[in-house]
Amino acid sequence: MILLNEEDTIGIALNQAARIYADMPLIAVPANINREYYPAGVEFSYSEVQAKVEYIAESYRIAGYGLGHRVALFLENRPEHILHKLALNTIGACCVPINADYRTAELVYLIDHSKVDLIVSLHSKIPDVEVALKQSHHAPTVVSVDEFPRQLIRSKRTSSPGLPAADTPASILYTSGTTGRPKGCVLSHRYELASGMWYATRGGLTAFTEGNERLYNPLPLYHVNASVLSFFGMLACGGCQIQSDRFHPMRWWNEVRESRATIVHYLGVIIPMLLNAPQTISDQQHQVRFGIGAGVEPQLHKIFEQRFGFPLIEIWGMTEIVRVLIDNESSRTPGTRAFGRSVPGLEVRVADSTGNELPRHTPGEMLVRHSMETPRKDFFTAYLDDPQATEAAWKGGWFHTGDIVLADDDGMLHFVDRQKNIIRRSGENIAAAEIEALLLSHPNVLNAAVLAVQDEVREEEVMAVVVLNQTDVNLPDEEKTRLAQSIFDYCLVNLSYYKAPGWLLFVNEIPTTGTQKIQKHKLFENVQDPRKSKGIFDFRSKKKR
């Protein structure tokens, strides 16, 4: 395990790891003959990564880039993203990853908000960047990664004097924007290294073995999970990050087996997709010891673990603090979304709307901090150019996560819902996530989102937006009516009457972010009243005890 001081930077950490683990693999790309890059797969050792990073860093230096510059990377999940990020951090520049799915307006917003000096892009993405630049106020230089450093021109502005420090910005990551405009979270060198060291030393079910771990991560590199948490966790212990281009259920197991993965990262949406595949004799023919992720519905844990032979370990983290809470104990509470306990270095308070601590078994907002003496230590530095939002998030000396949780008698924390996903109906607080979990267990439902709509009598009513399984999409209207009734009855049988959907609408797809988080604010962006949507079913009169 590498040994770091709190003053160390990412460049120092990489150099130390390269000395200790020189010929061991740090980055691997699984084979995929249909992929444009490295179709046969590739592995880079620690010393190879260090050499590549030094070359890229020197190229940036020669072009005048350094401390104080911001460089956007539009490189999808290619290993070049990791190499360029490490190089930029080595010279004190800040990396601004670009979501691979961004459309023009989103690109314009990121360019103008982050004021990047340079965009390093895949050649295929250059036309998209050029369209965005015609609409943006800010005008950064653009270079194709395939033409780097040959066509890298001199920086338009001079870098700041000095060397990078622990508090130097390493990344600006934009939040998913599930409730509005993304915020730019400024993450320091210290934040990123502390996240990796924390992850590598949790022990229990998630104990890392130095020099032996191979972590398969199909999640996007513009997200904090892959680019910070898992990568620096591997760097800390001599492990290897296996970086797939994306999650695909038909490729998952082949890539996991062939890459000899010992750990896998998942999202809640991944697990049901894997379970939907036909069972085979090779389901447990792998080297995976555990999976790490969040959002798996409680009823699927045991089913998955028995079939595939390894535990799914639920964690909690967010871009603002990815020094995760983790349920790494051997006796997890079945049927709940437990994700760990308050621990030194990441203290938790379950609080009411005024910030006062609530008794055990009482749902409230989760507030977190490092400690009373240093509440913000190892958290994000700030929301970029938004001190008001930063201070509002830290009201009362605790970071307000917006997650509703409860603590049991032993202090284990259990996820209830996002604060903004609470529906207030006739004095009852209803968790949208609970209804969504049930809907997803209905045999005809592929995906679902539950949200609040206005109700003239009850303040708010439950609305369910449902994507049917592919075989049900083209059913005649009378059959869809029968299906809607079946889904409503299913909810009425399995939930308190007031939780059943008063409104139900079938749609072809539900908008999501690149990390598969549902974007509820985009469901009815240009609709004045969702209740007047064509084809909607009104079950309000059927909601009876």
pLDDT tens for 213-271 read: 999 999 999 989 999 999 999 999 999 999 999 888 889 999 999 999 999 999 887 88
CB 411 within 8 A of CB 342: yes
**Interatomic CA distance for residues 116 and 70, integer angstroms:** 5
Contact 101, 125 (CB under 8 A): no
From 286, 283, 285, 262, select the one nearest 274 (Cα to Cα): 283
Identify the DSSP state of 343. Answer: B
Mean pLDDT, each 10-residue run in order, the chain (545 residues): 94 98 98 94 98 98 98 98 98 95 86 98 96 97 97 96 97 70 92 97 92 95 94 98 92 96 90 89 96 84 92 92 86 68 96 93 95 97 95 95 91 83 76 86 91 86 91 80 94 85 94 76 85 94 87
**Number of neighbours of residue 110 by Cβ within 10 angstroms:** 26
pLDDT of amino acid 357: 94
Between the two ends of the chain, the Cα-to-Cα distance in Å is 59
What pLDDT is stored for residue 430 in this prediction? 81
The pTM (predicted TM-score) of the whole model is: 0.83
Q: For residues 215 and 213, what is the distance between their CA atoms, to the nearest angstrom?
A: 6
State the Cα–Cα distance between residues 438 and 256, nearest whole angstrom.
Answer: 30
pLDDT at 477: 86
Residues of the chain with CATH 3.40.50.12780: 10-340
Q: What is the number of H-type helices and E-type strands within the chain?
A: 14, 26
User: For residue 420, how many C-alpha atoms fall within 13 Å in the half-sphere facing its CB?
Assistant: 10
What tokens appear for 139 in the block? 């005008």
User: In this structure, are strands 214-217 and 240-243 parallel, antiparallel, or unpaired?
Assistant: parallel
Question: What stretch(es) of the chain map to CATH 2.30.38.10?
Answer: 342-422
Residue 511 has a pLDDT of: 87
Q: Of 175, 84, 99, nearest to 380 (Cα)?
A: 175
CATH architecture of 342-422: Roll (2.30)
- Which tokens belong to 278? 């036909």
What is Dmax (Cα atoms) for the chain?
Answer: 73
The radius of gyration of the chain from alpha carbons, rounded to an integer in Å, stands at: 24
For residue 196, give the 3-state DSSP assignment.
Answer: helix
CATH number of 10-340: 3.40.50.12780
Instruction: Give the model's pLDDT for residue 181.
Output: 67
CATH 3.30.300.30 residue ranges for the chain: 426-542
The enclosing H or E element of 110 equals helix 104-114
- Tokens 């490295």, located at residue: 38
Q: What CA dihedral angle connects 507, 510, 511 and 515, to 10 degrees? A: -160
pLDDT at residue number 526: 80
440 vs 283: CA distance, rounded Å: 23
| Domain 426-542 coded CATH 3.30.300.30 | yes
Task: Give the model's pLDDT for residue 179.
Answer: 45
Tell me the Ramachandran region of residue 16: left when phi exceeds 0, alpha when psi lies from -120 to 50, beta otherwise: alpha
Give CA separation, 159 vs 66, 213, 508, in Å. Answer: 5, 38, 49
Q: Which residue has the tokens 């004799």?
A: 281
